[in-house]
Amino acid sequence: MVLACLLFKKRWCLHESVARGSKKYPTSSSPSARVRENAQALEPIHSLPLNCIVCGDCAAELPKLPANCVDLIFTSPPYADARKNSYGGIHPDQFVEWFLPITAELLRVLKPTGSFVLNIKEKVVNGERHTYVIETILGMRRQGWLWTEEYIWHKRNCYPGRWPNRFRDAWERCLHFTKSRHFQMFQDAVRVPMGHWRHARLRNLSETDKRRDESKVGSGFGKKIANWIGRDLAYPTNVLHLATECSNRMHSAAFPEALPTWFIRLFTKPGDLVLDPFIGSGTTALAAAKLGRNYLGIEIKPEYCELARRAIRETLGDTLWEVSYAKHHGD
């Protein structure tokens, strides 16, 4: 806890008035520095700039960060050229070539116990799903990433529509990568209510319910219903049922705050550092700050940098982040 508190107190921020080429990272304890709305492009440093929105290209900014410093990376890069009006886009045929150098840097900055959650979905090209996501996964495995799990974000309020060869697109991938098979994961933090059905189901248990009942198809799976007695919470599945972002956040691809929140709870503890190299409107940073985690966001478009900084400032104010940290850290 002492180490986490020291990490929290070492909050670094650029002086807005320092000219390019002579930037420094002084410490600050002033109230206005508690929300890092004025951070600009990073210079090579030995200490981390915490709670900042960095305006720059993550391909250029990530190499300036020290190795093994991030606990969780959660991000959603441009879906190839699906958002041309926002980011110009990368043609699906060039996506892997563009993205793999970035994932190499993400591999370097992630701690051995950390996780990388990649929210992504293949777009349709010439009537079929492109393979750039699959190719990206294979390329990342060659870099040394472990493709540990795949979570599905079920979009409960997906957009209506009709196509001659497919139905509405109601889900997206959240690919979970790690550097090691031994990574931090706090499963109890995301348990869900079991539901009222359990009261009737557990009222009269059969003899089969009181012992482990093996699957009749020889799958190796089994269950013991009696283990559920007295439990109010259960572990979730790998399918997240969340609504999409409906409010106008002035960004064409904002995901709901509940999405990064779930993964931040699962893979980090208070005081850990969450990185989003495509921060967009700042949703990941907001989710991290509200849970008492440090954040670092990188965004290439200046207008989105300002949007993210304004959202953090308006939502958290100058002191709410510190209050939230203390609440979740138990201080």
Overall pTM surpassing 0.85 (yes/no): no
Residue type, 153: W
Q: Give pLDDT, residue 118.
A: 98
Q: Residue 277 domain-assigned?
A: yes
Residue 90 to residue 86: CA distance in whole angstroms: 12
Q: Give pLDDT, residue 211.
A: 78
Q: Residue 218 domain-assigned?
A: no
Please report how many Cα atoms fall inside a 13 Å half-sphere around the Cα of residue 64, on the Cβ side: 16
DSSP code, position 97: H
Nearest to 262 by CA among 287, 243, 280: 287
Question: If DSSP codes are grouped into helix, strand and coil, which group holds residue 116?
Answer: strand
Whole domain around residue 251: which residue ranges?
A: 2-15+27-202+224-329
H/E stretch holding 309? helix 302-316
User: Between 320-329 and 283-290, two packed helices, what is the crossing angle to 10 degrees?
Assistant: 50
Q: Residue 20 domain-assigned?
A: no
Dihedral of the alpha carbons of 104, 110, 114, 116, in degrees to the nearest 10: -40
Domain count, the chain: 1
User: What CATH number has the domain bearing residue 271?
Assistant: 3.40.50.150
Q: Residue 214 domain-assigned?
A: no
H/E stretch holding 303? helix 302-316
Q: Residue 61 domain-assigned?
A: yes
Q: Give pLDDT, residue 282.
A: 93
Q: Residue 89 domain-assigned?
A: yes
Q: Residue 22 domain-assigned?
A: no
Within 8 A by CB and 6+ apart from 212, the residues are 222, 223, 224
pLDDT in single tens digits along all 331 residues of the chain: 333 333 333 333 332 222 223 333 233 333 334 334 334 444 444 467 789 899 999 999 999 999 999 999 999 998 666 555 555 578 899 999 999 999 999 999 999 999 999 999 998 898 899 999 999 999 999 999 999 999 999 998 887 778 888 888 899 999 999 999 999 999 999 999 987 776 677 778 888 777 787 777 777 777 777 777 777 898 999 999 998 855 545 544 568 999 999 999 999 999 999 999 999 999 999 999 999 999 999 999 999 999 998 888 888 875 455 555 556 565 5
Residue 202 to residue 262: CA distance in whole angstroms: 29
Q: Residue 192 domain-assigned?
A: yes
Number of residues written out for the chain: 331
For residue 204, give Cα distances in angstroms to 201, 214, 225, 234.
7, 20, 11, 20
